[in-house]
């Protein structure tokens, strides 16, 4: 705040910010260098790697310097007071103050904006503008299938329906109140397993557990309850994405109101993958997002939960519940990525209501995967979102494992990370 005639405080602030730079990269073809997993487990692996670059050191945080310049007032000059009446006091002219000159510090020359920074900003703005003018309804394919579960169904019945139809989630419907009751996902089944592992005496009653009792299970485990967010299909797609980020949900049901019956009507469910693929297909400006992951620090790179091929499946389930995550990378003793164990793999093991396979090792469990499993996708710290959006446009991707040249684990990039980046990065500067 610059000094004025009524004050005597002067503050100067200098901010310095340095950012590391990494050259951009491209996603290459399939990773033939991936070592075969242990126990002869067959793994389809699609890779997106380039030559690795040295990860930049942590970015220096901006520093601020505050200086206070005090001044001494001169002797007051007596001024005859104006005539006053009542309780009002006389008006005294303010005395003059000695003003100190602010110290002059040379400002560092401003760095010219790089072309890659300018294009990244333009690409993000184009994606956000696209999401704001398209509705959630636009994401739906021309033909799709919708399965809605009544909350009076048992968990076992719902599990059989999911596996028979090859789906991993379904909206819930409360027939008593004729209202939307949330979304059933694989996380709910994993929570049920964790609950009965902690309460083995109640395991013989698991077949009678109904979907409307899932909230009691979540409360007992002190984990998040079933997802209950929804959005009207005519609302902007941008709004749906923001709601998903706020609730940490990976999918959101489209629920409208029937004007004739004045009741809820579940139209469909859209996922993060469906939204990002919609963007990749329709927004050519995704090719401007060339800044490497190592520079924008997109993804998780610290304290990553891992397991080995010999880890019991029940131990991996504990990790999934405790960390509220949907997958765990499978590595060897040197940190080389062999595979990824996902929450949907648990559903495959317990189909039919049989829970004996949870004692298997990860390597044995992965052999039970469906032949049409899409595979594991990897990328490097040199890859930008332009090539990752290309991969999303061509393949069904739910996450990417970040590896180095030797396929050693560096981090994990989820669709939630990508969605958060394209929605929030630099948004405040635009406003």
- Is residue 7 a part of any domain in this protein? no
**Helix 385-394 vs helix 272-282: crossing angle, to nearest 10:** 110
Tens digit of pLDDT for each residue in 69-78? Answer: 333 343 444 4
Could you give the number of structural domains in the chain?
Answer: 1
Long-range contacts (CB closer than 8 Å, 24 or more residues apart) made by 180-183: 180/230, 180/253, 180/255, 180/264, 180/266, 181/151, 181/212, 181/228, 182/225, 182/226, 182/227, 182/228, 183/226, 183/227, 183/228, 183/249, 183/251, 183/253, 183/269
Domain with 133, as residue range(s), is: 117-429
276 part of a folded domain: yes
Mean pLDDT to the nearest integer, 301-316: 96
Query: What pLDDT is recorded for position 226?
Result: 64
Query: E strands of 36-178, at which residues?
Result: 45-48, 149-150, 169-174
Residue 6: the pLDDT is 42
Please state, in angstroms and rounded to a whole number, the distance separating the CA atoms of residues 92 and 82. 8
**Average pLDDT score over residue span 375-383:** 94
- pLDDT attached to residue 220: 87
- Confirm whether 51 is domain-assigned: no
In this predicted model, which residue has the larger pLDDT, 430 or 395? 395
Residue 47 has what DSSP assignment? E
* pLDDT for res 4: 43
Q: How far is CA 370 from CA 43, 168, 184, 314, 378, in A?
A: 11, 14, 22, 20, 20
Specify if 9 maps to a domain: no
pLDDT over 80 (residue 149): yes
**Is 88 inside any structural domain?**
no
Q: Domain containing 205 — which CATH number? A: 3.10.580.10
Q: According to the per-residue pLDDT averaged within each range, which of 38-47, 128-137, 355-364 is highest?
A: 128-137
Nearest-angstrom CA–CA distance, 58 and 29: 30
Task: Provide, rounded to the nearest whole percent, the portion of the chain with pLDDT above 70.
Answer: 73
421: pLDDT confidence band, cut at 50, 70 and 90?
very high
Mean pLDDT to the nearest integer, 409-420: 96
Domain assignment present for residue 63? The answer is: no
| Confidence bin at 417 (pLDDT 50/70/90) | very high
Burial class (CB in 10 A: 0-12, 13-18, 19+), 39: middle
pTM of the model: 0.72
- Looking at residue 151, its pLDDT comes to 94
Contact 374, 44 (CB under 8 A): yes
- The answer, yes or no, to whether residue 269 has pLDDT greater than 90, is yes
The C-alpha atoms of residue 143 and residue 150 are separated, in whole angstroms, by 23
In a domain, 191, yes or no: yes
Residue 395 domain flag: yes
pLDDT at 143: 86
**Cα–Cα dist 45/31, whole Å:** 7
What 3-state DSSP class applies to 184? strand
């Amino acid at each position: 705040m610059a000094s004025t005639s009524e004050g005597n405080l002067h503050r100067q602030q200098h901010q310095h910010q340095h950012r590391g730079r990494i050259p951009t990269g491209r996603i290459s073809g399939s990773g033939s260098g991936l070592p075969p997993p242990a126990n002869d487990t067959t793994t389809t692996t699609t890779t997106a790697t380039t030559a690795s670059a040295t990860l930049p050191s942590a970015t220096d945080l901006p520093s601020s310097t505050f200086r206070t310049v005090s001044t001494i007032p001169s002797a007051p000059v007596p001024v005859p007071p104006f005539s006053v009446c009542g309780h009002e006091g006389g008006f005294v002219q303010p005395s003059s103050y000695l003003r100190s000159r602010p110290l002059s510090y040379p400002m560092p020359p401003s760095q010219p904006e790089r072309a890659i920074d300018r294009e990244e900003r333009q690409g993000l703005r184009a994606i956000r503008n696209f999401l704001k003018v398209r509705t959630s309804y636009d994401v739906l394919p021309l033909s799709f299938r919708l399965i809605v579960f009544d909350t009076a169904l048992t968990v076992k019945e719902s599990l059989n329906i999911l596996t028979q139809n090859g789906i991993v989630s379904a909206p819930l419907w409360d027939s008593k109140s004729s209202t939307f009751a949330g979304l059933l996902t694989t996380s709910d089944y994993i929570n049920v397993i964790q609950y009965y592992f902690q309460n083995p005496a109640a395991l013989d009653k698991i077949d009678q557990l109904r979907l409307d009792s899932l909230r009691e299970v979540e409360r007992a485990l002190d984990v998040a309850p079933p997802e209950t967010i929804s959005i009207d299909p005519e609302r902007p797609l941008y709004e749906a994405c923001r709601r998903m980020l706020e609730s940490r949900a990976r999918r959101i049901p489209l629920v409208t109101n029937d004007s004739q019956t004045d009741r809820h009507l579940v139209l469909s469910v859209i996922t993060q993958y469906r939204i990002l693929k919609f963007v990749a297909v329709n927004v050519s400006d995704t090719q401007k997002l060339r800044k490497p992951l190592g520079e924008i620090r997109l993804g998780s790179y610290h304290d990553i939960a891992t397991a080995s091929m010999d880890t019991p499946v029940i131990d991996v389930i504990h990790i999934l519940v405790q960390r509220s995550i949907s997958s765990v990378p499978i590595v060897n003793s040197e940190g080389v990525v062999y595979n990824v164990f996902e929450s949907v793999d648990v559903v495959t093991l317990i189909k039919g209501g049989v829970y004996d396979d949870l004692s298997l090792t990860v390597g044995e469990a992965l052999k039970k995967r469906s032949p049409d499993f899409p595979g594991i996708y990897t990328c490097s710290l040199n890859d930008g979102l332009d090539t990752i959006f290309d991969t999303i446009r061509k393949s069904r991707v739910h996450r990417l494992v970040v590896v180095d040249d030797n396929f050693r684990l560096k981090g994990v990039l989820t669709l939630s990370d990508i969605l958060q980046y394209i929605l929030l990065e630099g948004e405040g500067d635009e406003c």
